[in-house]
Structure 1
Amino acid sequence: MNDIISNKTHRIALDTNFLVDLDITVSPRHEKVLSILNDLGKSKSEIFITEDALLEYIHVVTDAKRFPNPFSIKMALERIRYINNHPHFTILHSDQDDFEICMQWIQKYNLGRKRLTDTMMAATYFNNGITELWTANANDFEIFDCFDIKSTV
């Protein structure tokens, strides 16, 4: 298991949709995730997000088919840089062990092509000992049976 050094006791993971809901103000979950994030900040939680989730974030928030006023690539990158420099956030970079867990889970749970990003994200969080996960799509992660899933719905 990877060893992420932290002197903070509350370590949580975010799914891509948490960041999307945070930044897309027309999202029906915007106010809720804003409140959750404020509470997590007050509790000195350390928040983890994978690089894959950030790439997926860019894909989603810049998609004009999803939102009436999508972000430009420049705006999306600025948000990611803000997250990268924020003291409560840590961006996790997947390694070979994470990838191997992902491949094992794809085979074990017979997952298809639409589950690849979430499975890699889950494997990275799992391998780094992060078990609390905030998401609007609990079903995407319940199959792995290793997370305390917190719903933003």
Structure 2
Amino acid sequence: MRGIDTTFLLAHELAEIPVHAQARELVRQSSRNGDAWFALVPQVLMEFLHVVTDPRRFQKPLPMEEAVARAEFWWGAKEVRQILPGPETIQLCFRWLREHRLGRKRLLDTQLAASLHQAGVHRIITQNRKDFEIFGVFQIEELDS
């Protein structure tokens, strides 16, 4: 099972992102191979909605209604395991913030990493390798542009 970072979701959904075709192909290939299981946390969907609708970031941002529909599709997809953070996740997040001396700009990535790790997810798809390498618990997959 692969954890999904917001960067992967954006690449999959927006054609203007350079790795769009690779993101779509990864999902198709995973479905064909029978390993199309993805772990998704709610915060990734909220960040997706925030970013994908921003006209300052994209030439063709999605209208909120369409963005919500796409987020709902991902959350309800049979290939997606919904991951909800629990008390242990928050404690791990606090521990990693202290251990790695991470600041305010690393809060959401650290919470995502803790949520996935607590759920037994060992692989993550992201375009921000350095955000997750520091924890030393993930096999990181990046799409080639």
The normalised TM-score by structure 1 is 0.90
What residue in structure 1 maps to residue 66 of structure 2? 75
28, 44, 54: which one pairs with 2:18? 28
| Structure richer in helix, relative to its length | 2
Rounded Cα–Cα distance in structure 2 between residues aligned with 1:94 and 1:52: 10
Provide the aligned C-alpha RMSD in A: 1.0
What residue in structure 1 maps to residue 6 of structure 2? 16
Deviation at 1:44, TM superposition (A): 2.3
Give structure 1 stretches of 5+ with no counterpart.
Answer: 1-10
Pairwise mapping of residues 111-150 of structure 1 onto structure 2 (< 5 A)? Answer: 111-150=102-141
3-state secondary structure, aligned to 1:32: helix
Q: Which runs of 4+ in 1 moved over 6 A?
A: none
What are the Cα deviations for residues 17-61 of structure 1, in whole angstroms up to 9, with x where unaligned? 000001110100101111111111222221111111111101110
The alignment-based identity, stated in percent, is: 28
Give structure 2 stretches of 5+ with no counterpart.
Answer: none
3-state secondary structure, aligned to 1:40: helix
Pairwise mapping of residues 99-118 of structure 1 onto structure 2 (< 5 A)? Answer: 99-118=90-109
35, 39, 43: which one pairs with 2:33? 43
- Name the amino acid aligned to 1:38: R
- Name the amino acid aligned to 2:103: G
What residue in structure 2 maps to residue 86 of structure 1? 77
Which moves more between the two structures, 98-107 or 81-90? 81-90
Rounded Cα–Cα distance in structure 2 between residues aligned with 1:89 and 1:44: 13
Rounded Cα–Cα distance in structure 1 between residues aligned with 2:4 and 2:125: 5
Rounded Cα–Cα distance in structure 1 between residues aligned with 2:33 and 2:4: 16
Rounded Cα–Cα distance in structure 2 between residues aligned with 1:72 and 1:91: 25
38, 49, 69: which one pairs with 1:58? 49
Deviation at 1:91, TM superposition (A): 2.1
What residue in structure 2 maps to residue 5 of structure 1? none
3-state secondary structure, aligned to 1:13: strand
